[in-house]
Amino acid sequence: MKKRVSILFALVALGNGAQAAQVNVAVAANFTAPMQKIAAQFEKATGHKAILSFGSTGKFYAQIQHGAPFQVLLSADDTTPARLEQEGLGVKGSRFTYAIGKLVLWSKRANVVDDKGEVLKSGTFDRLALADPKLAPYGAAAIQTMTKMGLLAQLTPKFVRGENISQTFQFIATENAQLGFVALSQVYVDGKITEGSAWLVPANLYAPIRQDAIMLSNGQDNAAAMALVNYLKGEQAQAVIRSFGYDL
């Protein structure tokens, strides 16, 4: 009897495994922490597994053009998914905004960054970190902010450029730069800044950071890819996204 029960459980497990699938997801670096949490919830809810790669949107675009096996892209902007759709590398009509990002000026140390960003005018720091504006939308937003403040020429000699927003964060976290521009989601959880001091950059100083997702051509017949796209639009995923300071 025990042997029959064991065989039955093995067959059930095998059947469940056959229904489950996995999806390769290219994720904008600013969305690392939220997506790690969402992916775990997604697997628990659906049985599908999301294999996550994090990096700059610009680099992902180049990789996808050269045949990288991603099936879903979670971009840090809305222009890259639109371009992929136009080029036939993204599934037409699958594009949607999953989050609206916010830019923040952050220092690991308390009392360095004031709540109006006046520290940028002070000249009391040697290095200012930002993501490469050619590859990372948050870097472009940082340049727009300093331009509107009339500080770009003054601050350019102090720039330390990260390849993506994660590397930019590391420059500041390790104090290789005293402060810098990062995504709010990197320093904010459940309604508060996790460490140091920060200035939430007013939205009128930079173009809206609309972060779009798109199903890539490689994913249109993948059950896990379709499930993930739907899951990102659901209440559970959106609650996680909000908890990291994004708007929807």
**Residue 13 predicted with pLDDT over 80:** no
The pLDDT tens digits of the residues spanning 102-145 come to 999 999 999 999 999 999 999 899 999 999 999 889 999 999 99
- Spell out the domains of the chain, with CATH numbers in brackets: 2-100+209-243 (3.40.190.10), 103-200 (3.40.190.10)
**Residue 10 predicted with pLDDT over 50:** no
The pLDDT tens digits of the residues spanning 65-99 come to 999 999 999 999 999 999 999 999 999 999 999 99
Q: For residue 139, what pLDDT is reported? A: 95
Vertex 158: Cα angle to 164 and 204 (nearest 5): 65
The pLDDT tens digits of the residues spanning 31-68 come to 999 999 999 999 999 999 999 999 999 999 999 999 99
**Residue 6 predicted with pLDDT over 80:** no
Are the CB atoms for 219 and 71 separated by under 8 Å?
Answer: yes
Phi then psi for 21, rounded to 5 degrees? -140, 175
Confidence class for position 26, pLDDT limits 50, 70, 90: very high
Q: For residue 123, what pLDDT is reported? A: 82
Confidence class for position 18, pLDDT limits 50, 70, 90: very low
